[in-house]
Amino acid sequence: LTEHLPPSKRDSCTVFMQIFFAVGHILAVVLSMLLLRSSESDTDWRLFVAALAVPAALMLLVCPWVPESPSYLMMSCQEARAQEALTRICRFNGVTNLKVRLASPAAAKGGGGGGGGGG
């Protein structure tokens, strides 16, 4: 997600996202302590699983509004969709000068130098 943010906000957003992971883990433990305090009921674990599914369901509802990664689209040879995603991200960030063009898929993949092999 940080790919879609202006460079000046990427660090703080990354930290903010990590805080959500930590808080989520803590809330899962607290939720399990509240819902699973007695093992006598057969429905306690079902309530716990349902409660843990709520954030995932909310994320599924939000996904249509999250733009795809232009880098990924370029690497998968979807140049037109990559340019659309980049234009959408620029507009969202208030960039009106849309002279940004993406590199060709060959250049995006590294163009021939990197990887392991030896010899």
62-97 residue pLDDT tens: 988 877 888 888 888 888 888 888 888 888 778 777
Q: What is the pTM of this model?
A: 0.48
Q: Which tokens hold the place of 8?
A: 């000046």
pLDDT in tens, 93-114: 787 776 666 666 565 455 544 4
